[in-house]
A and B are shown apart, each in its own frame.
Chain A
Amino acid sequence: MIALLMRDLKLAFRAGGGFGLGLAFFLIVTVLVPFSVGPQSSLLATISPGVLWLGALLACLLSLDRLLALDWEDGSLDLLATAPLPLEAVVTIKALAHWITTGLPLVLAAPVLGVLLNLPQPGFVWLVVSLALGTPALSVIGTFGAALTVGLKRGGLLLSLLVLPLYVPTLIFGAEVARRGAISMETNTPLLMLAGITAGAVALLPFASAAVLRVNLR
């Protein structure tokens, strides 16, 4: 299990892996926002939690089609399916590797980009907390989408279409935590909802992903 995780991480960090892609996209989106909506700091302060969450979500979405596609092409998915490790564990590891290479850097980069967008002081903690809590759900849901479309030639657009509505609850609660945190409001309710969604997704979706992957490998 750990060997598989290390292998995935190594592949991602190597040149040509998807490691920098999501982060670069996140950076581009947040830097471009002030150019498109104007530099008024009050406006930026209001929209910054939402923009940062949206940027992180899109960065996640962007890196999804590489999640299983490479392993599918070179046949290592077939090997993994016949390995003693259950497929549920394989997809969980894959999601974890995706989170470490995409979600975690986004969480760490978010406060820095928050400065650029004039995020109010109390918002930083909540932004990091909400992203740290929400991005695992994004990775797990994304793995499900990637497993659904893995056999398809041009699955990228379809993958986005399938994953988009599945991301809505996470985005709503995550951005709500960050927004409320930024204006020093009570954040418990959305935070608990977000935690619930993440816990539920992490616990249950790997079974769906594995089932779908088995169908695709048949």
Chain B
Amino acid sequence: MMPDLGKYADAVLSAYAASILLLVLLVLVSLWRGRRMRAELTAVENRLKRDG
């Protein structure tokens, strides 16, 4: 299945690894921060509602 990358295997594989890693990190960080803000907002809104 693995294509024959010849003598440039290192270059191609590291380029793909680095890029995919960066993209995945970006998505994870975005999702993580998004989730935290969402939770925090509901917490603040509930507090305000309770206290009137």
Contact between chain A and chain B defined by CB under 8 Å: no
* Residues of chain B whose beta carbon lies under 8 Å from any beta carbon of chain A: none
* Residues of chain A whose beta carbon lies under 8 Å from any beta carbon of chain B: none
